[in-house]
Structure 1
Amino acid sequence: MKKRISKGEQDFVRGCTRAILERDVSHVHWLIVQKGVRHYIHHQNELEIEDYIHRNRLKLICVVSREFINDWHIRYSGNDLSKGLIKKRLNGMIRASEKVADLAYGDFKKEDIEELLSQVPTEGLTTEERTSYLARVRSLLESK
């Protein structure tokens, strides 16, 4: 059975896919949770949105940065299968990010970081993507 996808998540995947295919790096894209509802935010001013998220204690699920858009445009655009592949990879990234967000917003001890990192799903990522992703997750966990 397919998992029901929220409107915010659909909008996030649609907006990020368009940005990647068009190499539109004018905005940064966020998927957040506010009062249990997922919302898609895209904005030119990264710091303004980060401040808004922290001020309102919102749960951040996923961020697609300008660098990410540029990297994925180079990597995945250029053929008829690009759009489907990008959407599939974005959905996989959201699933992995959900688990990281649950860990990051939950209570844990710093000694548990290695165990938490071992639970982060990285299927479908290249070795380079996996290393980079886990380094960002480690940084997030260590900053708590």
Structure 2
Amino acid sequence: MKELVSKGEQNFIRGCTKAILTNDVDQYHWLFKVNGVKVYYVHKEPQAADHHRIFKSAICICSIGPEFITDWHYKAGHDDLSKAWINRGLKDLIEHSESFADFIYSPSSKHKNDKTIRTITTPGLTEAGRTEYFNKITRLLNPKK
């Protein structure tokens, strides 16, 4: 049985897969949940989503940058199984990220601190990529008013 996936999630997986396969590091990819609807957003600037008014009240599920794309490009290899490996990995990443985002953004959560954010597993990221990833999460969770 085929699993139902939202249009935003499909577009995110498709866009990231294409970027990883071609090693296109010119753009950043985000998956947001806006009023319960998953929205895929891509832009050349790393903070572009911070300034977009529709995302002010959105939940950031996942963010993919150049380091992640390059790392996965080389890990995926260049064979018939690459695309399937990337798709499966992105689906797992979204599932994990979404559960963490729900935890962080939940109204009853009192764990919105740096220590909790640093417990996120980031397979495939270098230490610099991990730091950049956590800084983006922190900025999204604590926007300047």
TM-score range, shorter chain: 0.7 to 0.9
Structure 1 residue ranges without an equivalent (≥5): none
Deviates more, 1:85-94 or 1:41-50: 41-50
Q: How does 1:75-86 map to 2 (within 5 A)?
A: 75-86=75-86
Distance of 2:72 and 2:47 partners within structure 1: 23
Distance of 1:115 and 1:50 partners within structure 2: 22
Deviation at 1:97, TM superposition (A): 0.4
In structure 2, the CA distance between the partners of 1:53 and 1:68, relative to structure 1 (3 Å rule), is: farther
| Superposition TM-score, scaled by structure 1 size | 0.75
More helix as a share of residues: 1
* 4+ residue segments displaced more than 6 Å: 111-118
Deviation at 1:113, TM superposition (A): 8.6
In 2, are the aligned partners of 1:29 and 1:40 still within 8 Å (CA)? yes
Amino acid in the other structure paired with 1:18: K
Which residue does the alignment assign to 2:19? Answer: 19
Q: CA RMSD in A?
A: 3.3
What is the total number of aligned residue pairs between the two structures? 135
Report sequence identity in percent. Answer: 35
In 2, are the aligned partners of 1:103 and 1:116 still within 8 Å (CA)? no
| Superposition TM-score, scaled by structure 2 size | 0.75
Matched, 1:104 2:104: yes
Deviation at 1:86, TM superposition (A): 0.3
Cα distance per residue 1:23-46 (max 9 Å; x no partner): 001100000011211111110011
SS of 1:42's equivalent in the other structure is strand
Q: How does 1:35-114 map to 2 (within 5 A)?
A: 35-52=35-52, 56-107=56-107, 108-110=109-111
Distance of 2:55 and 2:6 partners within structure 1: 24
Amino acid in the other structure paired with 1:13: I
In 2, are the aligned partners of 1:33 and 1:60 still within 8 Å (CA)? yes
Deviation at 1:58, TM superposition (A): 0.9
Amino acid in the other structure paired with 1:109: K
Structure 2 residue ranges without an equivalent (≥5): none
